[in-house]
Structure 1
Amino acid sequence: MTTPLITILDDEPEIRRILTEALDEAGFRTQSFARAREFEASLKRVTPDVCLVDLSLPDTDGLSLVHRLALEQGAAVIIISGRAQVQDRVTGLELGADDYITKPFDPVEVVARVRARLRSGPRPAAQTSDIAHFSGWTAHFDRYMLEDDSGTETPFSHAEGEVLRLFLDSPKRLISRSQMQEMLGGAAGDSFDRAMDVRISRLRTKLREDPKNPRLIKTIYGAGYIFLGDVSWD
């Protein structure tokens, strides 16, 4: 089994050193970059398993980069930033980040978050196919794209795709928050709950759901969620 590759994008040399040492000691392969240009060039050669991305970069807007990564790459994205405002965290998650860690941080926590993102939790009747059909939609997980019955395509992020696949793997079955946390990884608590709320809201928008009465992704208050569509896989 190939050792997971973790890339670090941060313009502070000391941050790169701390993260590299902690991840190397934990048994991961690492690459670190001070500039977004070098980082994005490396993505053309290899796709990392997890990208650790700072938002305050000298040569690009970090949030825009996170959005591109979420839509175009198969890697999980964890933001590591000195921006501690709630709105920054919400925006990062809305743009497709899988997790958000604020500076200063404990390297042990970062390693734990990375492991949580890589952990492959149990999925009932999990599918290995990359194409699913449901309720007039086709989800292309190989290229992160939703296609309606007219052929119009809408991109979704890696993080949104994880949640959608979880629903499509278990249609018409209640999935609790604790089950989502176990299956998708991530630290339990308000941060994880907010991330799930953001991803599910964005999926509903892309599936053109009525937010007051969604027909596919139903919230069962106090219990979890249930996906009501019929699903078939290629």
Structure 2
Amino acid sequence: MSNDDAARILVVDDDPGIREVLTDYLSQHGYDAVGAASAAEMDRAMAARTPDLIVLDLMMPGEDGLSVIRRLSGTGGPPVVMLSAMGEETDRIIGLELGADDYLAKPCNPRELLARVRAVLRRPREGAAKSGPALTFAGWRLDLLRRELSRPDGRNVGLSAGEFALLKAFAESARRVLTREQLLDRARSADSEVFDRAVDVQISRLRKKLDDGSGLEMIQTRRGEGYIFDVRVDKVGA
């Protein structure tokens, strides 16, 4: 694989030792990995070339990682694997709520990070290969190739990679109750550590993004059972 073909991974961490270890390891495994010491350096690197994935430390001088995640999620930026000091559960939950796709506690094993990176990058490619171009429901359209969600009025709604995978899992199992475990099986890779709360916060984000003012509650909770996507879904363009 040439450098131009390799997925670009941007490692954002103010610790030069961690940046070097992670970028070297990812580079050894076929990725075009580069480092940035701050959010400002990240912005400059992204202006030069948009990365396919960002590995982001939450605790940085200047603009911190949570602010970066909020900003990237709001603009439909690349998927984010966040790094946080062990035990900082509040930051982890907030990061997931803001749009991060996965989480690793620091210090992290580079091999485990590699597995997370591969899992996150695999999701859209697998989704596009297994299904038709789009799924439609209640006037909404989920484009499986572009990973875009369009409202009934035609406006696009930004989705993180995790939100896209979860919504696709719901839409492909419409009107069937899914447990948390079944959602994790459909929306996330088996080699990615998952927390039950992560499903809850991503569902909460999806509910907000699917609220078009019509009062239709597409994602419903079934107490003691799981969740159901209670709307008719059609495949188009297959």
Give the TM-score band, short-chain normalised.
0.7 to 0.9
Change (3 A) 1:15 1:124: closer
Q: Does 2:1 correspond to 1:6?
A: no
Aligned partner of 1:231 in structure 2 is: 233
Aligned length: 229
Gaps of 5+ in 2: none
Q: Does 2:177 correspond to 1:171?
A: no
Aligned partner of 1:60 in structure 2 is: 63
Change (3 A) 1:4 1:180: farther
Query: TM-score when scaled to structure 1?
Result: 0.79
Of 44, 51, 72 in structure 2, the residue corresponding to residue 41 of structure 1 is 44
The alpha carbon displacement at 1:146 in A equals 4.7
Write out per-residue CA displacement over residues 74-118 of structure 1, whole angstroms, 9 at most, x where no aligned residue: 522011122632211110000000112121222222112212222
Write out per-residue CA displacement over residues 109-146 of structure 1, whole angstroms, 9 at most, x where no aligned residue: 211221222234866994353x6432243456748555
Q: Does 2:106 correspond to 1:103?
A: yes
Write out per-residue CA displacement over residues 25-52 of structure 1, whole angstroms, 9 at most, x where no aligned residue: 2232211111222211222343322210
Q: Does 2:131 correspond to 1:127?
A: yes
**Amino-acid identity (%):** 38
Listed as ranges, the matches of 1:1-234 within 5 Å are: 2-82=5-85, 84-120=87-123, 126-129=130-133, 132-139=135-142, 142=146, 144=148, 146-149=150-153, 155-183=158-186, 184-185=188-189, 187=191, 191-208=194-211, 215-220=217-222, 224-232=226-234, 233=236
Counterpart Cα distance in 2 of 1:153 and 1:182: 27
Please identify runs of 4+ aligned residues in structure 1 that moved more than 6 A.
none
Change (3 A) 1:186 1:199: farther
Change (3 A) 1:173 1:49: farther
**CA-atom RMSD, angstroms?**
3.3
Matched AA of 2:209: K
Change (3 A) 1:170 1:124: farther
